[in-house]
Amino acid sequence: MEYQSQLEKLHEWVGQKLTSCPVRDGVTFHNHNEKIFKILRRRKGWYIEFSVPVPECPGLQELTDEEAKTRKLGRTRWIYRGTSEENVRKLVTTAMASIPQSRIVEPAMARDVRIVSEFTCPCLKKMEKLQNASNLPQEISQQLEEACDLLGSERYNDFIPKIGQTLKNITSHMLQENGIEPSGDLRDQLNSLIEREIISSSLKEEVEELFNRKVLERHFEDQKRAYPLALMLVSFTSKLINIGKLIKLWS
């Protein structure tokens, strides 16, 4: 199962019980400020780190405190590696069941439910910072602002093609600034930037994951299913703008 499909499944299982946000190598799921589990980006199979107890199953490794300390994994003690979607679903369900339930009743709480989460995703703040960056060309800043508005209004299906076009303009600008005529689709231009060491090669695997099957052209009937891809694109856009030589080009 592809990484994007794995994320869609996780969001389907956790519903509104947890919040999520991309990190350097995957996506973390939290209950308020407590990390519950993290999925890591892999080409094949599942790789999930749990910070709360989960039951034994094939593919699950339990670390000692010393092992976790040596590997700098913080509170992570259980790691699942495998291909069984059913095992992952059971582990995630068990992890969520261990979260203490609030006993506070709020009669005045609104009856309508947010599509993704009752909490503000940190990704929205990332977008706000990007659109306010003074070193970006005006045209791109405007596009980022429009994309941020779509993200803030939970129009993830519209956000995806919008940020895709913005990324294309960013890569075209970077190539032109380095005396290279832009050609090909977004993936081609990103690979060109990586091959010429204009941006870090650390983005190569992420480029392959995100843009190898025209994911930007997908249409999601359900906004909730578009949400994981929107998260990954926010994270990637932030990395692209802030990594390597890009800031120097526009400063």
Q: Is residue 116 in some structural domain?
A: no
Q: Is residue 104 in some structural domain?
A: no
Q: Is residue 108 in some structural domain?
A: no
Backbone angles phi, psi at 110, to 5 degrees: -60, 145
Encode pLDDT of 175-226 as tens digits: 988 899 998 889 899 999 989 888 888 788 778 777 766 677 777 777 877 8
DSSP, res 3? H
pLDDT score at 243: 66
Q: Are 154 and 223 in contact (CB under 8 A)?
A: yes
Q: Is residue 199 in some structural domain?
A: yes
Q: Is 112 exposed, middle or buried (0-12, 13-18, 19+ CB in 10 A)?
A: exposed
* Residue 215 sits in the same domain as residue 172: yes
* Residue 139 sits in the same domain as residue 55: no
Question: Of the candidates 81, 97, 113, which is a domain's last residue?
Answer: 97
CATH of the domain at 191: 1.20.120
Q: Is residue 113 in some structural domain?
A: no
How many domains, in total, are found in the chain? 2
Give the residue, 20 or 67, on which the prediction is more confident: 67
Return d(Cα 63, Cα 36) in angstroms, integer: 16
Question: Of the candidates 97, 131, 153, which is a domain's last residue?
Answer: 97
* Residue 82 sits in the same domain as residue 137: no
Give the lowest-confidence range in 27-36, 103-112, 131-140, 204-213: 103-112
* Residue 61 sits in the same domain as residue 155: no
Pairing of strands 26-31, 46-50: unpaired
Query: Could you report how far apart the first and last alpha carbons of the chain are, in Å?
Result: 41
Backbone angles phi, psi at 114, to 5 degrees: -65, 150
What pTM value is reported for the model?
Answer: 0.61
Look at residue 43 and give its three-state secondary structure. coil
Neighbours of 234 (CB within 10 A): 25
User: Would the pLDDT of 83 be above 80?
Assistant: yes
pLDDT score at 251: 45
* Residue 76 sits in the same domain as residue 126: no
* Residue 138 sits in the same domain as residue 241: yes
Give the lowest-confidence range in 85-99, 117-131, 210-224, 227-241: 117-131
Provide CB contacts within 8 A for 248, sequence distance 6+: none
Return d(Cα 239, Cα 147) in angstroms, integer: 16
Question: Could you give the count of Cα atoms lying within 13 Å of 169 in the half-sphere of its Cβ?
Answer: 15
pLDDT score at 245: 44
Question: For residue 122, what pLDDT band results from cuts at 50, 70 and 90?
Answer: low
Question: For residue 4, what pLDDT band results from cuts at 50, 70 and 90?
Answer: confident
pLDDT score at 249: 47
pLDDT score at 116: 39
Pairing of strands 78-82, 34-40: unpaired
* Residue 159 sits in the same domain as residue 39: no
Question: Of the candidates 97, 112, 145, which is a domain's last residue?
Answer: 97
* Residue 199 sits in the same domain as residue 156: yes
* Residue 246 sits in the same domain as residue 137: yes
Q: Is residue 105 in some structural domain?
A: no
The percent of residues in the chain predicted with pLDDT above 70, rounded, is 83
* Residue 45 sits in the same domain as residue 131: no
User: What residues make up the domain containing 148?
Assistant: 122-250
Q: Is residue 239 in some structural domain?
A: yes
Encode pLDDT of 24-71 as tens digits: 788 889 887 788 999 998 888 999 999 999 999 999 999 999 999 898
Q: Is residue 88 in some structural domain?
A: yes
- What are the tokens at 73? 């994994």
Q: Are 148 and 131 in contact (CB under 8 A)?
A: yes
CA geometry: angle 156, 157, 160, nearest 5 deg: 80
* Residue 169 sits in the same domain as residue 241: yes
Encode pLDDT of 154-169 as tens digits: 888 899 999 999 999 9
Provide CB contacts within 8 A for 22, sequence distance 6+: 123, 231, 232, 234, 235
- What are the tokens at 225? 């299913």
Q: What is the mean pLDDT of the chain?
A: 80
* Residue 195 sits in the same domain as residue 241: yes
The label of the residue with tokens 């299906």 reads 157
User: Would the pLDDT of 74 be above 60?
Assistant: yes
